[in-house]
Amino acid sequence: MFRSDDRLLLIIFAVIVGICSGLAGLFLNRGLETMLSWLHHYRHYWWAIFLPAAGAALSSLFLEKIVNEGAGHGVPEVIYAVSRHGGLMRLRSSFSRLISSCLTIGSGGSAGPEAPVVMSGAAIGSNIAQAFSLNDRQRVALVGCGAAGAIAAIFNAPISGMVFAVEMILGEWSTMNIIPIAISAVAGTEISRLLKGNQIVFAHRNFNIQFHDILACVGLAIFCAIASILLTRAMRSMHHVAKGVRVPVWIRAAIGGSMVGLVGYFLPYILGEGYHAIRSAIDGTFPAGLLLVTVIALVKILATSLTLGWGGSGGIFAPCLVIGAFVGLSFHRLLEALWSSVLWVNEGCFALLGMAGLISGILQAPLTGIFLIIEITGGYEVILPLIVVSAISTTLCHTLEPASFYLKDLVEQGQLLRPGTDARVLTDLSIQELLETDCTCVHPNMRLADFIDVVKSSQRNYFPVEDPKNHQFLGMIYMDDIRPYLFDPAMHHAVLTGQLMDPHVQTVSLYDDLSDVLRKMDEARIFSMPVVSDNHFQGMISKATLLDQYRKELMVQTGRF
């Protein structure tokens, strides 16, 4: 009874996953606060420039030598697990990125804690599903629950957690997933509120937004899109540069960290997650000057690229929020310089809108950007300009970069398979389960008269030919090949099957990709192909059987039972 009710089962597990993910988020949050407090008193010393280097090196050594995981942002790895492996993730991923990112960010590296905690929550959901022997679809749902609970807990933002998990991690809006993910986001949020208190991350004052402010948001969206593309390409370029440096990965991470420390010594706003700078920007109390805020935005892009591109551990959420806030300040101060007679809304509003523009642009996930900013600031009165900035920034970024930062590598490698798409459905099918084995094999020395008797008792229009001694596959005989000889009795004892077979027939193996199989069928304009393994005939695969199974699998993936 308990196992038969799929939705009730997922809701119960969603609560458990949400609580565990919320605790993981709190663990990372407290760890970062502790490290930042420890190291704060040493920031004024000259040797403090090496603190980010030490943190990045220790982070890299921990990932490579202790838990045997490579550096990365975390979210692409979760999406890859959902896309290619039914949400299977290792148990150590539930804590490995928490520790490594704590070392990187706590020492001053320019990265965010959100992506590591997403990976942790997703791994918790995956391993709980494995422990209770849940199927692939249920496991993927719990991976989404873990991601939602983690984001919801770290930002105290349940709607953002739910939208991020559905929009970015799973890539599909189905009722089977949304309900447990929403429950998990609520559970993660409540754990956070219970242990930390019900407080938003960035408080703000009310903004009096006029029509001309909303029109100006079009320009802000363009600035945000440019910054998003710049950050995306800077991180990818820095990663390629770092890979060309032939040194151990931990030394590579230390090099990047030392460069961040050097820049941060003169411009400390770019160190760590940078939330203190965002609060000043939103409050409208950041030091005056257009050049200063513009330089901070550009240097933060550089610092984030150095941290993550050279092997540090962390995510891009927090850097995007910082960069977006300063892009917003820059744009507002530019407007005031150009049109000083216009009464613009407080610059804190533009900082808030810039945060949404960067998140929406680099993730190409406008709903995540909108709801995240609303929930972490309580700025519900800015919903109209938020929509304008998020929508335009996402559209422009998609035009210049068809895939978001998290998805770009997966798309280029052909590893992104979203539920309900042709590639994903075909990947979840295998040739073994489509194999038709009711074919009658013949040998090449059989007379046509004997072969006709085989045809009479068969339901097939094709016949594999095998060597009678070693059963090696030699070719295929199709009904069209023998039709000219059927009505000529004189040929029945004169022609052998070896003379009628096609020895150059196209074949596939048991482990070929079904997308390639369909492509070969279409190119050759055939409806079935022999499956051969180790030069032995295994059966036939037909387009009719493949499409029938495709339809059934599509119904499973879209929840249309």
Write the pLDDT tens digit of every residue in 1-35: 444 457 788 888 999 999 999 898 888 888 888 88
Cβ atoms of residues 209 and 381 within 8 Å: yes
In a domain, 337, yes or no: yes
Residues 447 and 382 in one domain: no
Cβ atoms of residues 77 and 270 within 8 Å: no
Distance CA 525, CA 356 (A): 50
Could you tell me the CATH number of the domain that includes residue 317?
Answer: 1.10.3080.10
Could you tell me the CATH number of the domain that includes residue 519?
Answer: 3.10.580.10
Q: In the chain, pLDDT over 90 holds for what percent of residues?
A: 17
Look at residues 381, 412, 443 and tell me which one is the last residue of a structural domain: 412
pLDDT for residue 421 is more than 70: no
Cβ atoms of residues 276 and 285 within 8 Å: no
3-state secondary structure 189-215: HHHHHHHHCCCCCCCCCCCCCCHHHHH
**pTM of the full structure:** 0.77
pLDDT for the residue 252 = 86
Neighbours of 531 (CB within 10 A): 25
At a CB cut-off of 8 Å and minimum separation 6, what does 203 contact? Answer: 279, 282, 377, 378
164: exposed, middle or buried (C-beta count within 10 Å: 0-12, 13-18, 19+)? buried
At a CB cut-off of 8 Å and minimum separation 6, what does 89 contact? Answer: 78, 81, 122, 123, 126, 127, 143
Write the pLDDT tens digit of every residue in 103-156: 888 888 888 888 888 899 999 999 999 998 888 788 888 999 999 999 998 888
Residues 258 and 119 in one domain: no
Residues 265 and 147 in one domain: no
In what helix (H) or strand (E) does residue 537 lie, and over which residues does it extend? strand 536-542
Residues 360 and 436 in one domain: no
| Phi, psi dihedrals of residue 508, rounded to the nearest 5° | -130, 165
| Phi, psi dihedrals of residue 283, rounded to the nearest 5° | -70, -15
Residues 406 and 426 in one domain: no
Q: Which of these ranges, 25-29, 117-121, 273-277, 462-466, has the smallest mean pLDDT?
A: 273-277
The per-residue pLDDT of the chain, averaged, comes to: 83
Q: Which of these ranges, 139-153, 222-236, 404-418, 471-485, has the smallest mean pLDDT?
A: 404-418
Q: Look up the domain containing 149 and give its range.
A: 6-196
- Please, what sign has the CA dihedral across residues 186, 192, 198, 202? negative
In a domain, 54, yes or no: yes
pLDDT for the residue 182 = 92
pLDDT for the residue 417 = 61
Residues 302 and 403 in one domain: yes
Q: In the chain, pLDDT over 70 holds for what percent of residues?
A: 92
pLDDT for the residue 17 = 93
Residues 80 and 178 in one domain: yes
Strands 536-542 and 528-533: antiparallel
Residues 393 and 258 in one domain: yes
Distance CA 210, CA 346 (A): 11
pLDDT for the residue 2 = 43
Per-residue pLDDT band for 558 (boundaries 50, 70, 90) equals low
User: What are the Cα distances from residue 218, in Å, to 223, 350, 399, 452?
Assistant: 9, 12, 16, 76
Residues 148 and 226 in one domain: no
Q: What's the total number of domains in the chain?
A: 3
Residues 133 and 220 in one domain: no
Cα dihedral 185→186→187→192 (10° resolution): 90
Length of the chain: 561
pLDDT for the residue 71 = 66
In a domain, 389, yes or no: yes
In a domain, 105, yes or no: yes
**199 or 219, greater pLDDT:** 219
Q: What average pLDDT does this structure show over 502-513?
A: 83
3-state secondary structure 70-132: CCCCCHHHHHHHHHHHCCCCCCCHHHHHHHHHHHHHHCCCCCECHHHHHHHHHHHHHHHHHHC
Tokens 């565990």, located at residue: 20
User: What are the Cα distances from residue 79, in Å, to 75, 147, 477?
Assistant: 6, 11, 46
pLDDT for the residue 1 = 40
Write the pLDDT tens digit of every residue in 71-118: 666 788 888 888 777 788 888 888 888 888 888 888 888 888 888 888
Q: At what angle do helices 275-283 and 317-338 cross, to 10 degrees?
A: 30
Residues 432 and 395 in one domain: no
In a domain, 204, yes or no: no
In a domain, 255, yes or no: yes
Per-residue pLDDT band for 241 (boundaries 50, 70, 90) equals confident
Residues 222 and 175 in one domain: no
Per-residue pLDDT band for 428 (boundaries 50, 70, 90) equals low
pLDDT for the residue 316 = 85
pLDDT for residue 451 is more than 50: yes
pLDDT for the residue 561 = 44
pLDDT for the residue 326 = 92
Distance CA 449, CA 392 (A): 73
Look at residues 412, 435, 456 and tell me which one is the last residue of a structural domain: 412
